[in-house]
Amino acid sequence: MNIPLTPVRFLRYAEQQFPCKTAVVCGNLRLTYAQFAERVTRLAGVVREAGVNPGDRVAFLSLNCHRLLEAYYGVVEAGAVLLPLNIRLAPDELAYILHDSGAKILFLEEEFIASVDSFRQRVPSLKSFILLNGTPQASWLSPKNYDDALATATPYRADVMQMDENSLAELFYTSGTSAHPKGVMLSHRNVYLHALSVCLTFLTKTDSVDLHTIPLFHANGWGTAHSLTLAGGTHVMLPRFTCTEVFRLIEQEHVDSLSLVPIMATALANSPDRQKYDLSSLQWISIGGAASSPTLVREVAEKLGCICYAGYGLTETSPVLSTAKPRTGEKLEGEQRPSALAMTGYAIPGVELRVVDFDDKDVPHDGKTMGEIVARSDGVMMGYLNQPAATAEVMRSGWFHTGDMATIAEDGRILIVDRKKDIIVSGGENISSLEVEKALAAHPGIYEAAVIPVADEKWGEVPLGVVVRKPDSSVSEAELIEFCRSRIAHYKCPRSIEFLASLPRTATGKVLKRDLRKKYSSG
């Protein structure tokens, strides 16, 4: 007898084994696993009573809160597909995703009413709008808000044996940095097996307390919704990231783990409020979402008092593919330690990683030869929604092609050197913009840095450094260039530096290099 692999089973297990244990902390609300599971069955009832059929898309436009976490189980329990939306997107971008996905119901928070009202008539598939908080006033909103709807709903529990593990469970949209965002389809099987791999990698335990610092719509955030529940750990919700609130919740809830994108890690390490709080419960921090640097990894570890290491994954891979977490028995000493912990790392269980050339042949495992990372795992997506050509382009010969350029060492550790499109070709030499960014970021006066190519009459193109100084820094262009020349080959160093108050970013926190290229290529 084969039991279908579905994340619904995670909550079933936690409810049975840890009914009285704290499952979720959200503001002043604390829910046990029994209470959380009860709310989930009521949400499933609400979704079914709204006329949703198997496979229909149910969208959530929500900050990190217990209601969005409930959706990860309740929507799927009802046989529907969960679509978490990026709250930082513009109305037109949200309209595109909702229309492309064919979403039938939209749950939204009060602060997004005006935004949704501006485009809702352009998304004919949407039949119902349910307010997550507050009192519905507009005529187009359902008369009952989320909690009122749950209170009167008939609880629904699916028969797990009737679920199809290969059917679509969750739908996430890529950031769309170069074109329209694409809908990434993840099956029940993808989500289930990925969570098992994550639990095994990070040794998630019943007494684990994780702070949801990264939004649950983000690739580096949603996996925790599954793995932590399976282990019976405690979810601490953070609606919006501020350093003070992160520190406060770590101290109050004895948080032992959290995940960050580099800009968050930089902010925490440099926050003057850090020393006001007891952060001794912290055991580890994982940085993902963009390449980190040894400097940042070292600063976070020293200032927050826990081990810090990088990780790597994509929306298309559920998301985690690798971690730089030290292997058991591995001794990393001196400067070798932050350098190793800032690497892309090695494949987690259930994942196979290769670095290949343009003919899809493996590059030498010498830590120097550059190639593209390709992956094969149980977490690799079903494909892009309604985009067979785009799916075929990245899913070749049984491997997912990431578009990330990297080297691979003899021990299997991978180091991303750049995205394919961000490699700088100067005088016939390939320059990794990430390598130059790490050199700039190592200067004590620099908060963050980005490197882009600019046209050069002699060399074709050369690196330009775009940096943000720390508040107390007055480092000059000449000093920074000389600093880089002391750390990396001269031909790789920026020929010029531009200083900005902040770097432009996507809604998920990635630096918008296309905007920088446009700005500086036009003078």
Tokens standing for residue 414: 């991978």
> Does 343 have pLDDT greater than 60?
yes
Between helix 262-270 and helix 243-253 the angle, nearest 10°, is 80
Determine the Cα–Cα distance for residues 322 and 352; give it in Å rounded to an integer. Answer: 9
Residues 214-251 pLDDT 10s = 999 887 676 899 999 999 999 999 999 999 999 999 99
Q: Tokens 């940085």 sit at which residue?
A: 287
Residues 46-56 pLDDT 10s = 999 999 999 99
Residues 467-506 pLDDT 10s = 999 999 999 999 999 999 999 989 999 999 999 999 998 7
Residues 116-171 pLDDT 10s = 999 999 999 999 999 999 999 999 999 999 999 999 999 999 999 999 999 999 99
> Does 329 have pLDDT greater than 90?
no
Give the C-alpha distances (Å, rounded to integers) separating 213 from 44, 216, 224, 512. 26, 9, 11, 22
- pLDDT value, residue 179: 62
- pLDDT value, residue 396: 94
Per the prediction, the chain carries an average pLDDT of: 94
> Does 211 have pLDDT greater than 50?
yes
Better-scored residue on pLDDT, 176 or 124: 124
The string over 387-415, giving b where at least 16 C-beta atoms fall within 10 Å of a residue's C-beta and e elsewhere, is eeeebeebbeeebbbbebbbbbbeeebbb
Contact 520, 454 (CB under 8 A): yes
pLDDT tier at 328, thresholds 50, 70, 90: confident
- pLDDT value, residue 504: 93
pLDDT tier at 292, thresholds 50, 70, 90: confident
Strand-strand pairing, 209-212 and 234-237: parallel
Residues 188-197 pLDDT 10s = 999 999 999 9
Q: What is the DSSP string of 396-436?
A: ETTEEEEEEEEEE-TTS-EEEEEEGGG-EEETTEEE-HHHH
pLDDT tier at 315, thresholds 50, 70, 90: very high
Tokens standing for residue 440: 């700039």
Residues 418-443 pLDDT 10s = 887 788 988 878 898 989 999 999 99
- In the chain, the domains with their CATH numbers are 12-188 (3.40.50.12780), 424-521 (3.30.300.30)
Residues 447-469 pLDDT 10s = 999 999 998 888 889 999 999 99
